[in-house]
Amino acid sequence: MLEAANDIYSSLTGRFKGDLLRPNDAGYEAARAIWNGMVEKRPGLIARCADLSDIQATVRAASQSKILTAVRCGGHSLAGFSTCEGGLVIDLSHLRSVTANKDTQRARFAGGCLLGSIDTATQKSGLVFPSGVVSHTGASGLILGGGTGWLTRKFGLSCDNVEGFTLVTGDGSIVRAHSKENEDLFWALRGGGGNFGIVTEFEVKLHPLSGVTLVQGLTPEPEIRRLLEFWRDFMADAPLDLKWNIDLRVAPEAEHLPRELRGRPVASSSLVWTGVPEAGRRYLRQATSLCTPESVTSGVVSYLHLQTMADSAFPHGQRYYTKSGYFTHLEDGTIGHLIEALNSIASSGTQIELAYLGGAAAQIDASETAFGDRSAPFILNLLANWSEPAADAAHIGWVRRVFAKLRPAMKPGVYVNFMSGDEQDRVPEAYQHRWERLVAVKTHYDPNNFFRLNQNVRPRNEPCNRGPRQIASG
């Protein structure tokens, strides 16, 4: 494969405007790293594109040579799909322009944007694009898989707010997809991941919002069962303005926390109210009634504060492993398993993340986009986070054991952006009755499966000389 990488390097040299980085070049070591430190790969060539024509030229050269190719926006794929061993990485990190129009409440942004670049630009006009909760996450990977965050209940998934895509397909062509042009592709790109081409531009709807009420608090162990039962019932009738996430974790040894909670297993509640503050007070008071009063913080914060407050909890280069699923109901037995799992967490960064979807995201018909299940309101994400390679087996083993216990109570389905690199067998499960339509769109736009480093939808009659698909980790 290194030979193919060198051939592509030679064919692009002289006309490529961005950076071409090979293993001994200055800057290569930093450029090859992705967010998940578990995924240590050395690509033969990193093509950091400067513009659309760089992307087209690289795709054309790569698809002719059949080299294994990864596409990278923010490099946050938990599965490690944005790099590969010996192959080519098409890196979009220099393509981060954002244009927001206050009057039309619309924005266009490039395929290499991080969430933070979009938030900063749109907030200048007091507008938001609903996205994820960590500002250093790449927008492309997040949106193409669906995109959930603080505003999902109010404004829908990120992909529900996209009105048009421009992409470069496997033969280097530029294709547009929106509600009146290439409708099947437009459907597939909203949830189907990076299977169809490299998105170079998103056209999206924005919403007015510049601040929210944020309330956070910790519930100690004896009360966690009651809290989860309360949350389960309360969220079923909660207003769309309320988002309440709960992380089961070990409380940090932080001075601002009550001493008796530090280093103890807790349920950490984060509540966001997007409406008028006074109207949210009674909901927020009820929701924090099971938190230790000294642990509760409350106030109106800027949208940019909200969007960056979790950034440092998920540093680049740590080791991460995840498994995820949906529940229609949170049965008492499931709550028992969750508490048991909390008591066996072995790292202070590891958490059991629980989110309640519903709201605007659930009001969109399941057939409207390729995104998986919208009907199961409870999303669980087991995210192990540690630093020592020697502890890999212990942390991965913990996630797998907890998942196996919880799995029988789950609804079939999974959010593709919360999957690891060893779960290819669950990809059809993620899409269920949308699967055949996705395969048809994939077969039309990427018959050779050039874009295969993703939660892969394989085209019909895929040529068998495509080389390894590469399992990322675990």
459: phi then psi, degrees, rounded to nearest 5: -70, 160
CA distance 26 to 393: 34
Taking the least distance from each CB to ligand FAD, the nearer of 73 and 162 is 73
CA distance 26 to 6: 17
Q: What's the token pair of residue 428?
A: 């059809």
CA atoms within 13 A on the CB side of 342: 28
CA distance 9 to 21: 9
CA distance 264 to 262: 5
Q: Judged by CB under 6 A, which of 43, 116, 138, 359 binds ligand FAD?
A: 138
Q: How far is the CB of 407 from ligand FAD (least distance, A)?
A: 21
Nearest to 320 by CA among 407, 265, 251, 387: 387
Q: Judged by CB under 6 A, which of 67, 84, 133, 370 binds ligand FAD?
A: 133
At residue 94's C-alpha, the angle toward residues 195 and 416, to 5°, is 30
Amino acid at 137: T
Instruction: Check binding of 156 to ligand FAD (CB under 6 A).
Output: no
Instruction: Check binding of 325 to ligand FAD (CB under 6 A).
Output: no
Q: Binding to ligand FAD (CB under 6 A): which residues in 450-469?
A: 453-454
Q: Judged by CB under 6 A, which of 63, 117, 122, 140 binds ligand FAD?
A: 140
Instruction: Check binding of 430 to ligand FAD (CB under 6 A).
Output: no
Residue by residue, DSSP assigns 117-177 as HHHHHHHTTTEE----S-TTSBHHHHHHH----TTHHHH--TGGGEEEEEEE-TTS-EEEE
Q: How many binding residues for ligand FAD (CB under 6 A)?
A: 35
Taking the least distance from each CB to ligand FAD, the nearer of 146 and 358 is 146
Instruction: Check binding of 35 to ligand FAD (CB under 6 A).
Output: yes
Q: Judged by CB under 6 A, which of 77, 135, 270, 347 binds ligand FAD?
A: 77
Q: How far is the CB of 270 from ligand FAD (least distance, A)?
A: 12
4 in Cβ contact with 48 (< 8 Å): no
Q: Binding to ligand FAD (CB under 6 A): which residues in 212-251?
A: none
Q: Binding to ligand FAD (CB under 6 A): which residues in 53-72?
A: 70-72
Instruction: Check binding of 199 to ligand FAD (CB under 6 A).
Output: yes
Q: Judged by CB under 6 A, which of 142, 159, 430, 438 binds ligand FAD?
A: 142
Instruction: Check binding of 43 to ligand FAD (CB under 6 A).
Output: no
Beta bridge pairs of residue 324: 381
Taking the least distance from each CB to ligand FAD, the nearer of 110 and 224 is 110
Taking the least distance from each CB to ligand FAD, the nearer of 127 and 189 is 189
Q: Judged by CB under 6 A, which of 198, 206, 209, 345 binds ligand FAD?
A: 198
Q: Judged by CB under 6 A, which of 18, 43, 44, 74 binds ligand FAD?
A: 74
Q: How far is the CB of 258 from ligand FAD (least distance, A)?
A: 27
State the sign of the Cα–Cα–Cα–Cα dihedral 338, 374, 137, 5: positive
User: 121 Cβ partners below 8 Å, 6+ apart?
Assistant: 98, 99, 100, 107, 109
Instruction: Check binding of 474 to ligand FAD (CB under 6 A).
Output: no
Instruction: Check binding of 361 to ligand FAD (CB under 6 A).
Output: no
Per DSSP, the three-state class of 460 is coil
Single out the segment in contact with ligand FAD by CB under 6 A; choices: 135-143, 173-181, 214-222, 230-238. Answer: 135-143
Q: Binding to ligand FAD (CB under 6 A): which residues in 84-123?
A: 92, 111
Beta bridge pairs of residue 174: 168
Nearest to 66 by CA among 473, 464, 458: 464
List interacting residues with ligand FAD (CB under 6 A).
35, 70-78, 81-82, 92, 111, 132-134, 137-138, 140-142, 144-149, 194, 198-199, 314, 417, 453-454
